[in-house]
């Protein structure tokens, strides 16, 4: 039990020290890149008339796997970059690499922003396209 507490304490301490440590630019860079990709994909969804991404993940079990793979594919470069940056950070500061910590950081910096931005981008694009269609008539 004591070992688990030590690991959790180390993980928590390491995660909290990351934004102020070396390579802290990734805490801005990765979410921005994920948001850009999400916006582009949200506009594509709106033009294709597809269900908003997060809603499809939650409510459409038949297509959930395909849409989740689509999201990971869209963010794969950002995720790979996140792992590389976190590995460099860990080797610089800790001297080793903890995969679990890297997964948590990459999820919060790359995939979560993508997940949160794609749906609103889709809705804004739908509103914009509908407004544009009304103005043409």
Give the per-residue pLDDT at 42. 93
Q: Closest Cα to residue 67, out of 42, 95, 98, 85?
A: 42
C-alpha span between 27 and 15 (Å, rounded): 12
Give the per-residue pLDDT at 120. 93
What is the SS3 assignment for 82-114?
HHHHHHHHHHHHCCCCCHHHHHHHHHHHHHHHH
**89-119: pLDDT as tens digits:** 888 888 888 888 888 888 888 889 998 999 9
With 0-12 / 13-18 / 19 or more C-beta atoms within 10 angstroms meaning exposed / middle / buried, residue 37 is: buried
Q: What are phi and psi of 52, to 5 degrees?
A: -50, 145
C-alpha span between 115 and 54 (Å, rounded): 7
- At 1, the pLDDT band (50, 70, 90 cuts) reads low
Q: Closest Cα to residue 43, out of 122, 106, 107?
A: 122
**46-74: pLDDT as tens digits:** 999 988 888 888 888 888 898 889 888 88
Tokens representing 90 are 């860990």
Tell me, what DSSP letter sits at residue 20? G
Residues, the chain: 137
Among left, alpha and beta (phi > 0; psi -120 to 50; other), residue 49 is: left
Give the per-residue pLDDT at 137. 63
- The answer to whether the beta carbons of residues 79 and 72 sit under 8 Å apart is yes
């Amino acid at each position: 039990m004591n070992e688990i507490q030590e690991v959790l304490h180390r993980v928590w301490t390491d995660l909290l020290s990351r934004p102020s440590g070396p390579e802290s630019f990734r805490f801005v860079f990765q979410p921005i890149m994920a948001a850009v990709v999400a916006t582009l994909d949200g506009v594509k969804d709106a033009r294709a008339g597809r269900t908003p991404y997060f809603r499809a993940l939650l409510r459409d079990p038949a297509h959930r796997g395909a849409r989740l793979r689509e999201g990971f594919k869209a963010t794969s470069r950002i995720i790979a970059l996140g792992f590389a940056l976190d590995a460099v950070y860990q080797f610089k500061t800790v001297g080793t690499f903890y995969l679990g910590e890297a997964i948590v950081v990459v999820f919060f910096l790359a995939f979560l922003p993508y997940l949160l931005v794609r749906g609103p981008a889709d809705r804004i694009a739908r509103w914009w396209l509908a407004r544009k269609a009304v103005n043409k008539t």
